[in-house]
Structure 1
Amino acid sequence: MIRSTISLAATGLLLSVSSTALAQSSGPAALEKQDAAPLSQLVADVNIPYQTFTLPNGLRVVVAPDHKAPVVAVSVWYHVGSKDEPKGKTGFAHLFEHLMFGGSENSDQSWFTPMQAIGATDLNGTTYFDRTNYFETVPRGALDTALFLESDRMGHLLGAVTQKKLDIQRGVVQNEKRQGDNQPGGLIDYDLYATLFPEGHPYHHTTIGSMADLDAASLDTVKGWFRDHYGPNNAVLVLSGDIDLPDAKKLVTKYFGDIPRGPQSHPAEADVPTLSAPVHKDFKDQVANTTIARVWAVPGMLSKDAAALNMAASVLGGLASSRLDNQLVRDEKLAVSVSAGYEEFERVGVFTVTAVAKPGVDPEMLGKRLDAIIADFLKNGPTAAELQRAKTQNVASTIRGLESVGGFSGKAVTLAEGAVYANDPDYYKKRLDATVALTPAEVRSVADKWLSRPVFSYTLSPGQRSGDYEEATGVGAGKVVSGSAPNYYRAPLAGEHPMAETPAHTATPLERAASDAAETAPQSTSAGVDRSKLPEVGKIPDLDFPTVEHARLSNGIPVVFAQRSGVPVVNVAIDFDAGAAADPRDALGTQSFMLSLLDEGTTRLTGVQIAEEQERLGATLSASGSMDSSGVYLSALTPNLAPSLGLMADVVRNPAFRPADVDRVRAQQLASIAEEMKSPIGIALRTLPPLLYGEKYPYGVPFRGTGDPAVVAKLSTADLKGFHGQWLRPDNATIFVVGDTTLAAVMPLLEKSFGDWKVSGVKPVKNFDAPTPKAENRVMLINRPNSPQSLIFGGQLMPVQGTDNLEPLMQANDVLGGSFLSRMNMDLREDKHWAYGVQGFIYRVQHQVPYMIYAPVQADKTGPSIAAMTGDMKAFLSTKGITSAELERTISGAIRELPGSFQTAGDVLGALESNARYGRPDNYYETLASRYRAMTAQELDAAARKAIDPAKITWVVIGDAEKVKPQLDTLGLPVEVTAMAGGSDEAGE
Structure 2
Amino acid sequence: MKSLKMFCSASISALAIGAAMPAIAQQAPATAAAPARAKPVAVSELVKKVDIPYEAFTLKNGLRVLVHTDRKAPIVAVSTWYDVGSKHEPAGKTGFAHLFEHLMFNGSENAPGDFFEPLKQVGATDFNGTTSFDRTNYFETVPRPALDRALFLESDRMGYLLGAITQGVLDEQRGVVQNEKRQGDNQPYGLVYYSILENLLGSTPYGHNVIGSMADLDAASLDDVKNWFRSHYGPNNAILVLAGDIDAKEARPLVEKYFGAIPAGPKSVLPKVTVPTLAAPKTVTLKDSVAATLIVRSWAVPGMNDTDATPLNVFASVLGGLASSRLDNELVRKQKTAVRASADVDSMAQIGIFSIQVVVKPGVDPALVEKQIDGVVADLLKNGPTADEVARVATTNVSGRISGLESVGGFGGKAVALAEGQLYSNDPLFFKKQLEAMAKVTPAQAVAAANKWLGRPALTVMVVPGQREAYQEATAVAAKPAEGPAAEPAKGTRGALPDVAPIGDLVFPKVERTKLSNGIELVYANRNAVPVTQLSMSFDAGVAADPSEKLGTQRLTLNMMDEGTTTLDSVAFSEARERLGANIGSGSSADRTYLSVDAPSPNLAGALDLFADVVERPAFAPAELERVRGQMLTGIAQELTSPQGMSNRMVPRVLYPAGSPYAKLAAGGGDPAVVKAITRDDLVAWHKAWIRPDKAKIFVVSDRPLAEIKAALEARFGGWKAEGAAGTKSFAATTQAMTPRIILIDRPNSPQSQIIATQLTGVDPFSDTLPVATANQALGSGFLSRINMDLREAKHWSYGAGGGFSFLEHAVPYTISAPVQADKTGDSIKAIQQQVKDFLTTKGVTNDELVREVNGSTRELPGRFETSDAVLSGMQQNDLRRRPDDYFTTIAQKYRALTIPQLDAAARAALDPNKFVYVVVGDASKVRPQLDSIGLPVEVVPAASLASTKPAGN
- Indicate the residue corresponding to 2:888 in structure 1: 925
- Amino acid of the residue matched to residue 447 of structure 1? A
Matched, 1:820 2:783: yes
Q: C-alpha displacement at 1:708, in angstroms?
A: 1.2
Q: Determine if the alignment matches structure 1 residue 554 to structure 2 residue 525.
A: no
Question: 1:269 Cα deviation (Å)?
Answer: 2.2
How many angstroms apart in 1 are the aligned matches of 2:594 and 2:14? 11
Deviation at 1:250, TM superposition (A): 1.2
CA contact (8 A) 2:509 2:525 kept: yes
| Alignment match, 1:741 | 704
**Structure 1 partner of 2:848:** 885
Partner of 1:325, secondary structure, is: helix
Q: Would you say 1:193 and 2:169 are equivalent positions?
A: no
* Cα offset, 1:30, TM superposition: 6.2
Alignment partner of 1:87 out of 91, 94, 103:
91
1:178, 1:688 → 2: CA distance?
23
Secondary structure at the aligned position of 1:461 is classed as: strand
Secondary structure of the corresponding residue to residue 738 of structure 2: coil
Residue of structure 2 equivalent to 1:508: 484
Change (3 A) 1:142 1:49: same
Structure 2 equivalent of residue 170 of structure 1: 174
1:77 to 1:342, Cα distance in 2 relative to 1, 3 A: same
Secondary structure at the counterpart of residue 661 of structure 2: coil
Q: Which residue of 2 aligns with 1:625?
A: 588
Cα offset, 1:265, TM superposition: 1.6
Superposed, 1:611-760 pairs within 5 Å as 611-702=574-665, 705-760=668-723
Q: Specify the code of the residue in structure 1 equivalent to 2:300.
A: A
Instruction: Note if 1:266 corresponds to 2:264.
Output: no
2:392 counterpart (370, 376, 389): 389
How many positions carry a matched residue from both structures?
Answer: 924
CA-CA distance at 1:27 after TM superposition: 13
1:308 to 306, 311, 326: 311
The residue number in structure 1 matching 2:383 is: 380
Equivalences for residues 313-462 of structure 1 within 5 A = 313-462=316-465
Deviation at 1:371, TM superposition (A): 1.1
Task: List per-residue Cα deviations over 1:834-886 (Å, max 9, x = no partner).
Answer: 11111111122222111001100011110110011000000000010111011
Structure 2 residue runs of 5 or longer lacking an equivalent are: 1-10, 16-28, 948-954
Q: 1:133 aligns to what SS in structure 2?
A: strand
Letter in 2 for 1:718: D
> Residues 801, 324 of structure 1: CA spacing in aligned structure 2 closer, same or farther, 3 A cutoff?
farther
Q: Which residue of 2 aligns with 1:22?
A: none
Return the letter of the residue paired with 2:426.
Answer: N
Distance in 1 (alpha carbons) for counterparts of 2:482 and 2:502? 47
- 1:624-679 C-alpha deviation (Å, 9 max, x unpaired): 01111111110111111111111100100001111111111100110000000000
Residue in 2 that maps onto 1:36: 40
**SS state of the match for residue 805, structure 1?**
coil
Answer whether contact 1:185 1:285 (CA < 8 A) is retained.
Answer: yes
Q: 1:702 and 1:42 mapped to 2: Cα distance?
A: 42
* Residue 574 of structure 2 is aligned to residue 597 of structure 1: no
CA contact (8 A) 1:778 1:955 kept: yes
8 Å CA contact 2:171, 2:479 repeated in 1? no
| One-letter code aligned to 2:303 | G
1:585 Cα deviation from its structure 2 partner: 1.4
Q: Which residue of 1 aligns with 2:4?
A: none
Matches within 5 A, 1:798-813: 798-813=761-776
- Tell which has more relative contact order, 1 or 2 (C-alpha 8 A, sep 6+): 1
Q: Residue type matched to 1:46 in 2?
A: V
The answer as to whether partners of 1:287 and 1:462 remain within 8 angstroms in 2 is yes
- Alpha-carbon distance change, 92 to 6 in structure 1, aligned in 2, over 3 angstroms: closer
* TM-score, normalised via structure 2 length: 0.95
- Report if the CA contact (8 A) 2:14-2:635 is conserved: no
CA contact (8 A) 1:26 1:654 kept: no
Q: Select the residue among 872, 875, 881 that pairs with 2:838.
A: 875
After superposition, residues 875-954 of structure 1 pair within 5 angstroms as: 875-954=838-917
Cα gap change, 1:982 to 1:675, in 2 (>3 Å): farther
For 1:713 and 1:954, locate their aligned partners in 2 and report how far apart those are by CA, in whole Å.
33
C-alpha distance in 1 between matches for 2:791 and 2:52: 42
Counterpart residue type for residue 883 of structure 1: T
- Looking at structure 1, the residues matched to 497 and 401 of structure 2 have their Cα atoms a distance apart, in angstroms, of 37
CA contact (8 A) 2:13 2:638 kept: no
Q: Secondary structure at the match of 1:273?
A: coil
* Residue in structure 2 matching 1:831, options 781, 785, 794: 794
Moved more, 607-616 or 689-698: 689-698
Structure 2 counterpart SS, 1:97: helix
CA distance in structure 1 between the aligned counterparts of 2:946 and 2:283, rounded to whole angstroms? 29
In the alignment, structure 1 residue 181 sits paired with structure 2 residue 185: yes
In structure 2, the residue matched to 1:121 is 125
Aligned to 1:142: 146
Alignment-mate amino acid for residue 768 of structure 1: F
Structure 1 range deviating more: 972-981 or 404-413: 972-981
How far residue 4 of structure 1 moved from its aligned partner, in angstroms, is: 14
> For 2:467 and 2:227, how far apart are their aligned partners in 1?
42
Q: 1:223 aligns with which of 216, 221, 226?
A: 226
Q: CA deviation at 1:128?
A: 0.9
Structure 1 segments, 4+ long, off by >6 Å, are 3-7, 25-30
Q: Does the alignment pair 1:761 with 2:724?
A: yes
Is the contact made by 1:592 and 1:705 (CA closer than 8 Å) also made in structure 2? no
Q: Compute the displacement of 1:372 (Å).
A: 0.8
Q: Name the structure 2 match of 1:130.
A: 134
Residues 30 and 566 of structure 2 are in contact (CA less than 8 Å); yes or no, is this contact kept in structure 1? no
**Pair 1:69-2:93 in alignment:** no
Deviation at 1:190, TM superposition (A): 1.4
Alignment-mate amino acid for residue 244 of structure 2: G
> Which structure 1 segments of 5+ residues have no match?
8-24, 474-499, 525-530, 985-989
* Cα distance in 2 for residues equivalent to 1:774 and 1:871: 23
> Structure 2: which amino acid aligns with 1:282?
T
Question: Equivalent residue for 2:24?
Answer: none
Once the 2 structures are TM-superposed, how far is the Cα of residue 28 of structure 1 from its aligned partner?
12
Paired AA for residue 78 in structure 2: V
Deviation at 1:501, TM superposition (A): 2.5
Q: Distance in 2 between matches of 1:26 and 1:123?
A: 53
Q: Aligned to 1:886, what secondary structure does the other structure show? A: helix
Q: CA deviation at 1:282?
A: 1.1
CA distance, structure 1, for counterparts of residue 746 and residue 503 of structure 2: 51
- State yes or no: 1:208 paired with 2:211: yes
The one-letter amino acid of 2:268's match is S
1:34 offset after TM fit, Å? 2.2
* 1:949 alignment partner, SS class: coil
Q: Which amino acid aligns with 1:372?
A: G
Question: Matched residue of 1:126: which SS?
Answer: strand
Task: Give the secondary structure class of the aligned counterpart of 2:61.
Answer: coil
Whole-Å separation in 1 of the counterparts to 2:99 and 2:813 = 36
User: Structure 1 residues 255 and 703, CA, compared in 2 at 3 Å: closer, same or farther?
Assistant: farther
Cα 1:726–1:96 shift into 2, 3 Å: same
SS in 2 for 1:171: helix
Residue pair 1:859, 1:964 contacting (<8 A) in 2 also: yes
Deviations 1:794-813 (A, max 9, x none): 21101013222211111111
Change (3 A) 1:27 1:321: closer
Q: Is the 8 A contact 1:469 1:788 kept in 2?
A: no
- Tell me the CA shift for residue 430 of structure 1: 1.1
Partner of 1:108: 112
Matched, 1:254 2:217: no
Per-residue Cα deviation, 1:61-96 (whole angstroms, up to 9, x for no partner): 000000101110000000100010011000100111
Do the aligned residues in 2 keep the contact of 1:72 with 1:242 (CA within 8 Å)? yes
2:248 partner letter: L
Decide which of 860, 863, 868 is 2:826's aligned counterpart: 863
The CA deviation at 1:26 is 13
> What is the identity percentage for the equivalent residue pairs of Structure 1 and Structure 2?
54
